[in-house]
Structure 1
Amino acid sequence: MDPTLSQTKTFQQNVLVMRHGDRLDHADPTWEKTSDRPWDPPLHQDGLSRAFQTGRAFRTLLPFPIHRVFVSPFLRCVQTASEVVTALCAVVDDPNAKSSHDVVSIDSSKVKVSIEYGLFERLNSSVITVDTIPKDGNFRFDVPKIESLLPSGTLDRTVEPVYKEMPQWEEATVDTRSRQEHTIKALADKYPSDNLLLVTHWDGVLVSVSSFKEDTSVTDIAYCGYSEMRRPVSLKNQTFAAGNFEMLTESGRTGITYNAK
């Protein structure tokens, strides 16, 4: 028996919950008129650049590495994750690079990425206008096509998602936020020895603050705004015990503003 298995290891687990970058349809309202998926916009060029620069900031400023990235299947989230992961994995950190197109090569062993339906957008008419939803009500996602947008070698298909199916149309807001909170906790518990980045939507970031920092009301979340949480973890005999998450995000920093209730 490996004697190291009986030893207790203690460390800090870090979890970042991030909003996607700038949407094309918000910069160009005419885009949706010619799109066959008007409810699933891509990033604007500014969004691609913002996501890449945020990934670079993670790489250079965070005092810990990111091991795993989980992402909502919406195009704007997958593109955001792709830019962030490319910046994290770039072999040469070119200060002149503005997006993933400027990166020559990456080390794909640094970060692994998986699609997670639990990070899905709030699927109701309060955020997705009825005139843009699929006429048959089926929000189809071509998962292999989505996965092909991620940096080569970073996709981990062995991961079993927390939610295997997308929510139903007109999901109540309270149910969306309950789902997001459950997903954050479940992913952290599933990978207690990894630092995680979850790329999601407004609600996911809001929940990460309001659920893990008492008596707060989130008022604004910028594109690529993110929260940062940390908790102590003890690992022994392949079982773990974890403390409560501490919310490290201060209002006005990392693109999130909130008020005390």
Structure 2
Amino acid sequence: MNAGCLFPVKTFQQTSLKKRLFRAIAPRFYVTHTKRAASLKSASNSSLIASASAYRSPSPKMEISGPEKKEQVYQYIVVMRHGDRLDNVDPLWITQSERPWDPPLHQQGKTRAFTIGQRLSQTLGAPINRVFVSPFLRCLQTASEAVRALCTVADPNNVSSDAVSVDLSKIKVSIEIGLCEMLNRQAIRANVAPKDGDFKFNISECEAQLPTGTIDHSAERVYEKLPEWEESAPAARARYMEVVKALADKYPSENLLLVTHGEGVGSVFSDIMNGVIVYDVEYCGYTILKRCIHLGENQSFTAGELTQQSEFGIKFLAAADE
């Protein structure tokens, strides 16, 4: 079984296809019931294609003529899962840790995060300007590796951030508490969750995990504190979409990388795709969202709907017919 597969699909007899899928997959990933996705393709290794650059990119821009002249640009938002967590490789780690609910990355996870950062740098077609990251250690370390890759001069032979030169002035990084793990026993194992529900995150300590010189302390968080322990799955899934949309609107002229958890990626992908059933998000799997932005005067803007541009490492099925 793939290391990133959290909930394998099971087969149930004497039920409809739709019920079998929902029972096998729920409640881990977000499912939308209202619409059916059309002409879907299973695309764990979809190519990353971007047709326009971001506002800060040096690529050509489009001018909109009319009474109020506006500039048309495109914004890209990448929502990515963290890399391989240590406790899934070394189960004994939790018995020795003071924070068993907050495992670091395995070395393979760091390598994967750096490699995916390189992939995005080479294929997105526009620069990442800002990174927002969950306060969990595995996400912080994933963001750190990805940022270094994004700020590195392209070199296909580099698969680690240890021996490369980077220009960290290219990207600003901030902690976003709203990108945290779903805070209930569905997502955090009961034997490791803090008994008092206090995850004891210290923002300064979290920021120390990120590359020096990249932290933007002026960025206002969408969520200033963690959700209450035992939040419901629907509330968590709504939270992820709320954060994505809020950050996109706060920074309409910038491209964003959001480093979160499997539930976050699955929730966003399902919401945007209107009815697909996500049953696996691999480590460092991601979805790329895109929307058209018309930038006006005095920092005003109008935005189109977020649409799915491409995805990587997300396994999904179309919702069955009613």
Normalised TM-score (structure 2): 0.76
Structure 1 unaligned regions, length at least 5: 1-5
For this pair of structures, how many residues does the alignment match? 251
Q: Secondary structure at the match of 1:102?
A: coil
Does residue 98 in structure 1 map to residue 159 in structure 2?
Answer: yes
Post-superposition offset of 1:94: 4.1
Q: Higher mean Cα deviation, 214-223 or 186-195?
A: 214-223
CA offsets 1:114-149 (integer angstroms, 9 cap, x no match): 000110100001121222122333111121121111
Please give the alpha-carbon distance, in whole angstroms, between the structure 1 residues aligned to 2:287 and 2:312. 7
Does residue 48 in structure 1 map to residue 110 in structure 2?
Answer: yes
Post-superposition offset of 1:246: 1.2
Correspondence list, 1:178-217, <5 A: 178-217=238-277
Q: What corresponds to 2:317 in structure 1?
A: 259
Q: Secondary structure at the match of 1:247?
A: strand
Q: Secondary structure at the match of 1:230?
A: strand
Q: Is the 8 A contact 2:122 2:154 kept in 1?
A: no
Structure 2 unaligned regions, length at least 5: 1-67
Q: Secondary structure at the match of 1:188?
A: helix
Please give the alpha-carbon distance, in whole angstroms, between the structure 2 residues aligned to 1:131 and 1:86. 34
AA in 2 matched with 1:60: Q
CA offsets 1:169-223 (integer angstroms, 9 cap, x no match): 1010010001101000000011011011100001110122111111211121100
Please give the alpha-carbon distance, in whole angstroms, between the structure 1 residues aligned to 2:195 and 2:271. 35
AA in 1 matched with 2:316: Y
Please give the alpha-carbon distance, in whole angstroms, between the structure 1 residues aligned to 2:304 and 2:240. 20
> How well do the aligned residues superpose, as a CA RMSD in angstroms?
1.2
Q: Secondary structure at the match of 1:78?
A: helix
Correspondence list, 1:211-226, <5 A: 211-226=271-286
Does residue 240 in structure 1 map to residue 301 in structure 2?
Answer: yes
* Matching residue within 291, 295, 302 for 1:231: 291
* Matching residue within 193, 203, 214 for 1:154: 214
- The structure that is helix-richer by fraction is 1
Please give the alpha-carbon distance, in whole angstroms, between the structure 1 residues aligned to 2:189 and 2:120. 34
Post-superposition offset of 1:102: 2.3
Q: Is the 8 A contact 2:78 2:258 kept in 1?
A: yes
Q: What corresponds to 2:41 in structure 1?
A: none
